[in-house]
A and B are shown apart, each in its own frame.
Chain A
């Protein structure tokens, strides 16, 4: 069955960097767009970024554009999110999710918590 396991979250100072990973299994990873979605404590869901199966297409929410970079390694069945210039408002649980046709999300990981604080 489809499994998505995020890792790499933790406590980081404002202005710092962090790299999140998502290990995928149970499907042909390279066939699917993947996405990152975050949820600040006690708040709603916010779509962050997506990447196509071949990495040829990416897109970002305005709130992270220029600071975050999404990438993938299809040989390792892994998705990444490089987060630079982190701000307090980036504090959230970060979920990776697999797209279905068109861009909704039937499969989610359990999330990894990123806390940006001094």
Chain B
């Protein structure tokens, strides 16, 4: 099983600031098989990024993903009030899909 480790656990930032979230895989992922999701309280997760760097339909361009191999990053260029949420990475490079434990982006 591929273990995904997200850091930091919590990120305290102000609106307008840049957020950088990390996801590290225990094994190298094939074909940049990594996705990012956003989840707000009481809601299902929403797909943001797939293939490590491709924005899903309707996702604003302030969200960007990068990385390959074992190290991946989600960047939110300028935080909007609606961006404060929990973010999860997910790998689909192995037959057993796994999620990271999440990073909470909270208002400072």
Bound CA–CA A109/B35 (angstroms):
18
- B interface majority secondary structure: loop
Knowing A104-B35, A104-B90, the reply to whether A44 touches B45 (Cβ < 8 A) is no
CB-contacts of B59-108 with A (<8 A): 88, 90, 92, 95-102
Total number of residue pairs linking A and B with CB closer than 8 Å: 57
Tell me if A108 and B45 are in contact (CB < 8 A): yes
Which chain A residues (79-118) contact chain B, with CB distance < 8 Å?
95, 100, 102-106, 108-111
Contact of A105 with B35 at beta-carbon distance under 8 Å, contacts A44-B102, A100-B50, A111-B44 already known: yes
Chain A 52-96 interface residues, beta-carbon cutoff 8 Å to B:
59, 61-62, 95
| Contact (Cβ within 8 A) B44 A35 | no
B13 interface residue, CB < 8 Å from A?
no
Which listed residue, B1, B88, B92, touches A103 by the CB 8 Å rule? B92
Please give, as numbers and ranges, the residues of chain A lying within 8 Å of B98 by CB-CB distance: 47
Q: Determine the main DSSP class of A at the interface with B.
A: loop
Decide if A45 is an interface residue (CB 8 Å cutoff): yes
CB neighbours (8 Å) of A106 from chain B are 47, 50, 56-57
Report if A29 contacts B (CB, 8 A): no
Chain A interface size range: 20 to 34
With A44-B88, A100-B50, A103-B33 as contacts: A109 and B44 at CB distance below 8 Å: yes
Q: How far is the CB of A18 from chain B (nearest CB, A)?
A: 20
Query: Quick one: which of A44, A50, A62 contacts B97, CB cutoff 8 A?
Result: A50
Residue with the greatest number of chain B CB neighbours at <10 A, chosen from A50, A100, A104, A111: A104
Q: What's the minimum C-beta distance from B44 to chain A, rounded to whole angstroms? A: 4
Give the Cβ gap from B35 to chain A, nearest Cβ, in Å. Answer: 4
Q: Are A46 and B99 in contact (CB under 8 A)?
A: yes
* In the A-B complex, the 5 residue pairs with the closest CB atoms: A103-B92, A104-B35, A108-B44, A47-B97, A45-B99
Task: Jot down 20 A-B pairs with beta carbons below 8 A, ordered by A.
Answer: A47-B96, A47-B97, A47-B98, A47-B99, A59-B96, A62-B1, A100-B50, A102-B31, A102-B51, A103-B33, A103-B92, A104-B47, A104-B50, A104-B90, A104-B92, A105-B35, A105-B37, A106-B57, A108-B45, A110-B44
